[in-house]
A and B are shown apart, each in its own frame.
Chain A
Amino acid sequence: MGLALLLIIWLITFLSSYFFVAHTWWPHAISASAPYIDHQWHLTFIAMGVVFIAAQVALGFVVWRYRDHGDAAKASYSHGNNKLELTWTVLTAILFLGLNAIGSPIWAAERFHSADTGAMKVEVTGLQFAWYFRYPGPDNKFGRTRPDLEDASLGGLSALGVDSADPAAKDDVVSGVLFLPVNREVDLTLRAQDVIHSFFVPAMRFKQDAVPGLMIHMHFRPEQTGDYEIACAELCGLGHYKMHGIMRVVSEQEYDQWLAAREADKQ
């Protein structure tokens, strides 16, 4: 039984570890902050991977090596070893707290500072069960919204309840697709109309809950063009699984053309 246990534990360890590394699971990342997050992931992964393999291999080995052979010999009588205890406690603390210390500046860079002053503004609104993206237009101001004007069935500005009486709303553009120019910092404002949603863009290594009652400012910068999917990452009701969107990163030129065309449509 000891040998069987060793084999099972070692096989599970080997197979799990193999599949962790044999395939690239992480989506291709295109954001400015992704390399830092990915690097911290890899550091933690190697550290935890070593511990995982060591612990499981040790477990398998120990249960086989110290199986009862049916002889009269007794087990070793020991209540422990304080020095050993202290040693591995300190080493573990250094490992865990060290990882924490190394990763903290990344979090700080992501979340402690607001967007650069030159960043372009986009408002992201989640509602059951779609994402809407609003651009402030040339005046760089978002028009007022009113909940009593919200009508999701009409889509666009009406879905967000934009008040057309507000002059700032005149040049607001609402899109179901998040158009972004490449290499520009984006100042996102996250809102929710009904329940908590979460704006998750795997390719950007970006996630933030959109909470009713909060206007949350976040920022990121896409560095490659292409279409990238957005998924909702906070349970929001029966349509949670299909509340997805597209982030379309295009060249600066294409973006300007798109926005101009949308503004023209409004006239």
Chain B
Amino acid sequence: MTQAHGPAGAAPATVHGHAPTGFIRKYVFSLDHKVIGIQYYFLALTAVCIGMILSLAMRIHMVWPDASIPFFGAIKPEQYLTLMTMHGTIMVFFVLTTAPQSGFGNYFLPIQIGAPDMAFPTLNMLSFWTTFVSFAVMIAAFFVAGGAPLSGWTNYPTLSAIPMAGPGEGLGEDLWLISIALFCVASMMGALNFITTTLDLRAKGMTLMRMPLTCWSWFITAILGLLAFGVLLAGGILLLMDRNLGTSFFVPGGLVVSGVPVQHSGGSPLLWQHLFWFFGHPEVYIAILPGMGVASQLLSTFSRKPIFGYRAMVYAMMAIGILGFMVWGHHMFMSGMSPYSAFAFSFMTMAIGVPSAIKTFNWLGTMWKGKIRFTVPMLFAIGFVSLFVSGGLSGPFLAQPAIDIPLHDTYFVVAHFHLIMGVAAIFGIFAGTYYWFPKMYGRMMNDALGKIHFVMTFVGAYCIFMPMHYLGMAGNPRRYSQFTEVKYLAPLIPIHKFITYAAIITVSAQLIFLFNFFWSMKKGKTAAQNPWEATTLEWTTATPPPHDNFGGVTPVVYHGPYEYSVPGAEKDYIMQTDPTPVPAH
């Protein structure tokens, strides 16, 4: 149980004082980034369970439209669309934007950079509780008159702007917008904290280029969020105004919906699409970057080898971040937008494939001539690379507008974003969970159960999403509640059935994870302080870390985070706080 000692540490600048007492201050309105990180994580865990159940109901309805599903009953077409809308919304916002960044980032960013907490702990607590209220409002949409909206997580007007356009587009839609607005505010506050913390609270010796790649990913993700969420908030405000205050930002004149003339005039549905996707594209990088950071971290640790090309990895993430703001139009090639701008967006989109490829090469390069330990976190990191390759490579098809013509809004797109977000990013969350669980709870998760969970999820996810490419090529449009009307879809239904069976099995396999998680919290094997023999700062603290993380002593960092297998060193890893010199590089 050695702790790193530096020179007599400075008192931290935040008044970090004494640990809180009392249940409310310790576990409810805690200012401790570790508690807040866990709160976010559990919010995301709840959300993902709801999101998965929604997707199961969707898949079952698609292949057995007349079936009565337990808890849901017989699902009408509009209800299917509601399930789909809420599935997408909950997964993208409350799972993928929450767990990897606000969950793990909150817990481990301060520790990995040697800080006692985030820069603004009170703001941090406010961010979480605002997110919580946002989630509650989103769920409330299910229960109001008309139910939750059916306009998709992308929420295009005029379907989302005119209450008459569909069931759920009344109060449910307004609640959706309010929930998202709250989420935007919470995210902006969180991003502020992450950025300030990374810039200002690094311990002595922790230069930016010595930060673990997880910290870089959280930092760059926070910058993306900082700049993107404001635009979504603006769009949401404008849409709320169109719906409730009679303005016409998005609704043109002369429309008739369900026989009723619409009173708006002069607006443009494309304006929403521009605003939404200007946010929406950085959002998907927000969803994947932390997973990339975790993958880099784990691949290095469990190959016992430094990450291949640390600087290139940093610059690649920066490039992805910057380019991510310039490609939003590739979601709009078919929208009626100027075909000339499609040209520009297409070029930038193909360009963004380059830094992503660099990262993949570097992950392979990290494992090359390594000494790979097949721990469960490592399995998920390896799985991440495979899934990222699979999901990423369908991008260059969609990035070319000519090819996008037949593929837009088909299952090809569904395959693409699910493989990257719905599986690879989720694998990043799983990898982080198995990896950091010992530090958070002082116990190891069960290894055998973890391996079974990995194999079933990896194979299952491929079974679900690979065939969707074929469906897209065959012209199967997305967001169809059933395939009984459009005749050319009939031969594809057996494939849909296969996907549904695979989904049922894969979702069931997640019960193994849930059981493992909660059982191990109490009954798992006791964890050593550094069970993975890793080098970064979180493995120097007690388990779980005390309130101020380092027990009153600020760590001092001597070198980068990936000093594994240093020739001539006693062990095959040198911790960042270990003064032993390493070769210059």
Asked if chains A and B are in direct contact (CB within 8 A), the reply is: yes
B367 nearest CB neighbor, chain A only: A62
Q: Name which of B167, B334, B583 has the most chain A CB atoms within 10 A of its CB.
A: B334
Interchain nearest-CB distance for A149 vs B (Å): 10
- Residues of chain A with a CB closer than 8 A to B487's CB: 229, 244
User: A26: which B residues are within 8 A, CB to CB?
Assistant: 406, 473-474
Flag the segment in B226-234, B338-346, B501-509 that touches A: B338-346
Q: Given that A19-B467, A76-B370, A96-B350 are known contacts, is A193 also in contact with B269, CB under 8 Å in the complex?
A: no
Please tell me which one of the listed residues A37, A66, A147 contacts residue B403 in the complex, with CB atoms under 8 A apart: A37
Stretch from B133-141, B191-199, B425-433, B478-486 at the A interface: B478-486
By CB atoms of chain A within 10 A, which of B156, B268, B368, B486 has the most?
B486
> A234 vs B251: C-alpha distance in the bound complex, in angstroms?
17
Please state if B336 and A231 are interface contacts (CB–CB under 8 Å). no
Of the residues B158, B347, B390, B455, contact of A194 by C-beta under 8 Å: B158
Given contacts A56-B389, A110-B405, A200-B475, A195 and B165 within 8 Å (CB-CB)? yes
| Bound CA span A100–B212, Å | 35
User: A89's contact among B156, B358, B397, B583, by CB below 8 Å, is which?
Assistant: B358
- The listed residue (B256, B305, B362) touching A150 by CB distance below 8 A is B256
Please tell me which one of the listed residues B156, B334, B335, B403 contacts residue A103 in the complex, with CB atoms under 8 A apart: B403
What chain B residues lie within 8 Å of A85 (beta carbons)? 309, 312, 358, 361-362
B146 at the interface (CB under 8 A from A): no
Residues of chain B within 8 A (CB-CB) of A238 are 76-78, 81, 150, 166-167, 481
Is B282 interfacial (CB 8 A cutoff)? no
Residues of A within 8 A of B572 (CB): 74-75
Among the stretches B90-98, B102-110, B520-528, B560-568, the one at the interface with A is B560-568
Q: Per-residue CB proximity of B282-309 to A under 8 Å, as 1/0?
A: 0000000000000000000001111111
CA of A36 to CA of B251 in the docked complex: distance in angstroms?
Answer: 36
Q: Quick check: A241 and B77 within 8 Å, CB to CB?
A: yes
| A235 partner residues in chain B, CB cutoff 8 A | 81, 151-152, 156, 159, 479
Q: Which of B20-28, B200-208, B235-243, B458-466 contacts A (4 or more CB under 8 A)?
A: B458-466
Task: Say yes or no: A59 contacts B386, CB within 8 Å.
Answer: yes
The answer on a CB contact under 8 Å between A80 and B312 is yes
- In the complex, which range does the number of interface residues on chain A fall in? 35 or more
Contact of B334 among A20, A69, A75, A208 (CB under 8 A): A208
Give A124 Cβ to nearest chain B Cβ, in Å.
Answer: 13
B396 at the interface (CB under 8 A from A): yes
Question: Which listed segment binds B: A168-176, A178-186, A209-217, A257-265?
Answer: A209-217
Q: In the complex, which residue of chain A has the Cβ closest to the Cβ of B316?
A: A89
- Are A25 and B371 interface neighbours, CB within 8 A? no
A68 is an interface residue with CB less than 8 A from chain B: yes
* CB-contact partner of A37 in B311, B382, B402, under 8 A: B402
Question: Which chain B residue shows the least CB distance to A112?
Answer: B339
Interface contact B252-A212, CB-CB below 8 Å: yes
Chain A residues with CB under 8 Å of B357's CB are 88-89, 92, 96
CA distance A232 to B357 in the complex (A): 35
Q: How far is the CA of A235 from the CA of B455 in the complex (A)?
A: 35
Q: Within 8 Å CB of B336, what residues of A?
A: 208-209, 211, 214, 216
| Nearest CB in chain B: distance from A15 CB, A | 8
A219 to B110: give the CA distance in the assembly, Å: 58
Contacts of B158 in A (CB 8 A): 194-196, 212
Task: State whether A89 and B389 are in contact (beta carbons under 8 Å apart), knowing that A104-B343, A107-B402, A128-B258 are contacts in the complex.
Answer: no
Point out the residues of chain A lying under 8 angstroms from B467, CB to CB: 19
Q: Determine whether the beta carbon of B408 is less than 8 Å from that of A207.
A: yes
The reply to whether the CB of A240 lies closer than 8 angstroms to some CB of chain B is yes
Report if A193-B255 is in contact (Cβ < 8 Å); known contacts: A66-B371, A77-B566, A97-B350: yes
Q: How far in angstroms is the closest Cβ of chain B from A6?
A: 10
Whether B397 lies near A44 (C-beta < 8 A) is yes
Pick from B159, B306, B310: contact of A196, CB below 8 A: B159
Given contacts A231-B475, A235-B159, contact A25 B470 (CB under 8 A): yes
Q: Is A1 in contact with chain B by the CB < 8 A criterion?
A: yes
CB of B104 to closest CB in A, whole Å? 24
Knowing A93-B354, A207-B334, say if A241 contacts B480 (CB, 8 Å). yes
Q: How far is the CA of A36 from the CA of B258 in the complex (A)?
A: 40
Q: Which residue of B lies closest to A228 (CB)?
A: B488
Q: Which residues of A contact B253 (CB under 8 A)?
A: 213
B350 touches A88 (CB 8 A): no
* C-alpha spacing A208/B351, complex, angstroms: 25
**Distance to closest chain A CB from B534 (angstroms):** 14
Given A26-B474, A92-B358, A193-B255, CB of A79 within 8 Å of CB of B310: yes
Stretch in A47-55, A115-123, A135-143 with 4+ CB within 8 Å of B: A47-55
Which residues of A lie under 8 Å from residue B458 when comparing CB positions? 8
Q: Does B360 contact A (CB under 8 A)?
A: yes
A77 to B583, CA, bound (A): 10
A152 proximal to B (CB < 8 A): yes
Interface stretch, picked from B124-132, B176-184, B372-380, B435-443, is: B372-380
Chain B hits for A177, CB < 8 A = none
Question: Does A156 belong to the interface (CB within 8 Å)?
Answer: no
| Closest chain A CB from B376 CB (angstroms) | 10
Which residues of chain A come closer than 8 Å to B77, judged between CB atoms? 238-241
Docked-complex contact B386 and A9, CB < 8 angstroms: yes
A211 to B335, CA, bound (A): 8
Q: Are B402 and A63 in touch, CB under 8 angstroms?
A: no
Residues of A within 8 A of B567 (CB): 74, 77
Contact A66 B167, beta carbon cutoff 8 Å: no
Query: Quick check: is B353 within 8 A (CB to CB) of the other chain?
Result: yes
Interface string of A91-112 (1 = CB under 8 A from B): 0110011011001101110111
Contacts of B262 in A (CB 8 A): 194
* Interchain CB contact (< 8 A) of A202 among B254, B372, B475: B475
Is B393 part of the binding interface, using a Cβ–Cβ cutoff of 8 Å?
yes
* CB of A99 to closest CB in B, whole Å: 6
Given contacts A200-B409, A207-B406, A241-B485, 11 further A-B contacts (CB under 8 A): A73-B371, A74-B565, A93-B351, A99-B350, A111-B342, A147-B255, A208-B336, A212-B252, A213-B253, A235-B152, A241-B482
15 A-B contact pairs sorted by A residue (CB < 8 Å): A56-B389, A59-B389, A75-B564, A76-B305, A77-B306, A80-B312, A100-B346, A107-B402, A112-B340, A200-B477, A207-B405, A234-B409, A235-B152, A238-B150, A241-B483
Closest 7 CB pairs of A and B: A213-B252, A202-B475, A80-B309, A238-B78, A111-B339, A76-B369, A25-B473
Which residues of B does A touch, CB under 8 Å?
76-78, 81, 150-152, 156, 158-159, 162, 165-167, 251-259, 261-262, 267-270, 303-312, 334-336, 339-340, 342-343, 346-347, 350-351, 353-354, 357-358, 360-362, 364-365, 367-374, 379, 382, 385-386, 389-390, 393-394, 396-397, 399-403, 405-406, 408-410, 451, 455, 458-459, 462, 466-467, 469-470, 473-475, 477, 479-483, 485-488, 562, 564-567, 572, 583, 585
